[in-house]
Amino acid sequence: MRRLSAIVLTALIVLAACGDDGEGVADTTAPGLPTTMEAVPGELPPPGPEVFTGLARLVNLYVDGAGETIEVDVWAHRSFEYGPVLLAEGVGFAESSGYFATPETMSVIIVPAGAGPDAEEIGTMFSPSEGDQETSLLIWDGEGYGASVLLFQEVATDPIFDLPEIPGPGEGLIVLQANQLYAQAGDDLLRSSFYVGAPGTGECLPQILPEGLQDAILGGTQSTQHVLPAGAASFTLHSWPSAGGEGPCSSDPAYGPFEVTVPNGGAGWVFLYSTDGLATIELLEAPWAQ
């Protein structure tokens, strides 16, 4: 079994989490090179296949304080050697691109859809090294911050933080991420932090925890990791701090239940997001390429 790693890189100190019904599933198109690498008129030729390394994709959960979303393209910006290359086109809100390789020595930029490689950048993506696989998440960080791009490693030759091993057949790993929701909650960490419950049991959903911890809280940059039987699964979100009772997940859920699909012998992100200040929340499932 493979060991994997995850890192979140962002200018914002704290982000957070929450929920209500809704779900989506990210595109997991077969990874590889761009389908076309035609020279842009007036530009240098594009790089050859030997220049491309790793696998990356973009998840777009950008929604600003006015509730406005944006569709984006991903370009490899021109260099002294090569012309620009369109890597992902028309990634709408609550969508994921497929995986794509990125060319070495070229910056990978995110711009409004259709604006071209010279448009003002919304953000930049990290480029994976040879053999690496990663997901970048585009979000709005709140007034004064604008857009942020967070990096989540899935396969890394030089991992920074270890994730648990991917289970064998019959089980799967899901990692809940709620980074998009802190600004949506008006920078209110208490309002947007939760225990993750197992519906109908009064118990918390089984987690993989660092030694010495009984429960991990979903909120801020803190994710929760769950190895579950493959197939359909569900979870609820319970307010933190706990109001007491028999346990942190024994109270009525604040949101949910949410339905997810646990990859068989695989892993995936489950991104929570909102467009209405946490009145409701939806899910985007993003299974990792195997």
Beta-bridge partner residues of 219: 222
pLDDT range class, residue 214, cuts 50, 70, 90:
low
| pLDDT tens sequence across 156-166 | 888 877 767 89
Task: Determine the structural domain holding residue 246 and report its residue range.
Answer: 4-287
CA 103, CA 86: separation in Å to the nearest integer?
11
Q: Over the chain, what is the mean pLDDT?
A: 84
Helix boundaries (H) for 21-130: none
Question: Among 166, 169, 288, which residue's Cα sits nearest to residue 230?
Answer: 169
| pLDDT tens sequence across 253-280 | 999 999 999 999 999 999 999 999 999 9
pLDDT score recorded for residue 244: 66
Distances (CA, A) of 114 to 56, 86, 89, 118: 21, 10, 8, 11
Half-sphere exposure of 184 (CA within 13 A, CB side): 31
CA 175, CA 281: separation in Å to the nearest integer?
17
Half-sphere exposure of 30 (CA within 13 A, CB side): 1
pLDDT score recorded for residue 144: 64
Residues 290, 268 contacting (CB under 8 angstroms): no
Q: What is the pTM of this model?
A: 0.85
Tokens of residue 184, six digits: 């949506």
Name residues whose C-beta falls within 8 Å of residue 203's C-beta, 6 or more positions apart in sequence: 197, 247, 249, 250
State how many domains the chain has.
1
pLDDT range class, residue 141, cuts 50, 70, 90:
confident
| pLDDT tens sequence across 56-82 | 999 999 998 888 999 999 999 988 889
pLDDT range class, residue 115, cuts 50, 70, 90:
very high
